């Protein structure tokens, strides 16, 4: 069940046990994913300043900062990234708490790679509309930031519903260009 997308999704694997990070990372790479391993929640949170994984596979019980606390500290602009908890210390109470906190899913170790991939694909599918919306909004913000001062003034007046002639009058463009009212009628 390899990934069919041209760009392989990036999966952040967060686990304090090196052998788990290595095994899960290599297994996911065989299914066509790119993997970025992290030793703990603090490392992940620091990396989220410059890295945007498509999904986070997060261990629950880790020293310093556990999985639930890590998820709660994910920056607002990264909250659209689905988080799947992956733990060998799972119980119903913990699973319910994780899901109430916004987790996309909860997997108990050991698990097959087919199961992990199935959960990742489901999380990616459900988050895709939000991700696309965020990327569109980011693109619009970048384009707006590139407007000159005059372009920004014109855009704001157009968004307020003014017609071309009204915008020209508002910005006193007719007089500045030496045009009469007849050209924009």
The residue ranges of DSSP E strands in the chain, in sequence order, are: 10-14, 34-38, 55-58, 83-87, 105-108
| CA–CA dist 154, 185 (Å, integer) | 18
Phi, psi of 17 (to 5 degrees): -100, 120
Q: Is residue 151 part of a domain?
A: yes
Same domain, 14 and 48: yes
pLDDT digits (tens, 9 = 90+) for 44-85: 999 999 999 999 999 998 988 999 999 999 998 888 899 999
The band of 1, judged by pLDDT with boundaries at 50, 70 and 90, is very low
Q: Are residues 139 and 151 in the same domain?
A: no
Query: pLDDT tens, 82-109?
Result: 999 998 877 788 888 888 888 899 998 8
In the chain, what percentage of residues exceed pLDDT 70? 82
Same domain? 114 vs 78: yes
Q: Tokens 């066509």 — which residue?
A: 32
Whole domain around residue 27: which residue ranges? Answer: 10-143
In a domain, 3, yes or no: no
What are the backbone dihedrals phi and psi of residue 34, each rounded to the nearest 5 degrees, phi first? -90, 145
Which pLDDT band holds residue 163 (cuts at 50, 70, 90)?
confident
Q: Are residues 93 and 120 in the same domain?
A: yes
Quote the tokens at residue 29: 């790479």
In the chain, the N- to C-terminal Cα span, in Å, equals 63
Residues 47 and 99 in one domain: yes
């Amino acid at each position: 069940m390899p990934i069919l997308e041209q760009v392989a999704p990036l999966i952040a694997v967060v686990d304090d046990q090196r052998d788990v990070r290595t095994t899960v990372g290599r297994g996911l790479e065989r299914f066509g994913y790119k993997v970025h391993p992290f030793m703990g929640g603090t490392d992940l949170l620091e990396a989220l300043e410059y890295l945007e994984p498509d999904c986070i596979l997060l261990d629950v019980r880790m020293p310093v900062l556990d999985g639930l606390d890590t998820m709660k500290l994910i920056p607002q602009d990264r909250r659209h990234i689905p988080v799947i908890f992956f733990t060998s210390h799972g119980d119903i109470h913990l699973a319910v708490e994780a899901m109430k906190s916004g987790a996309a899913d909860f997997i108990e170790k050991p698990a097959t790679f087919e199961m992990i991939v199935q959960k990742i694909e489901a999380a990616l599918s459900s988050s895709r509309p939000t991700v696309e919306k965020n990327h569109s909004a980011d693109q619009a913000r970048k384009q707006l930031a590139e407007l000159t001062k005059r372009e920004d003034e014109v855009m704001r007046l157009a968004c307020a519903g003014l017609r071309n002639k009204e915008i020209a009058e508002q910005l006193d463009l007719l007089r500045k260009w030496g045009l009469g009212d007849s050209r924009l009628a």
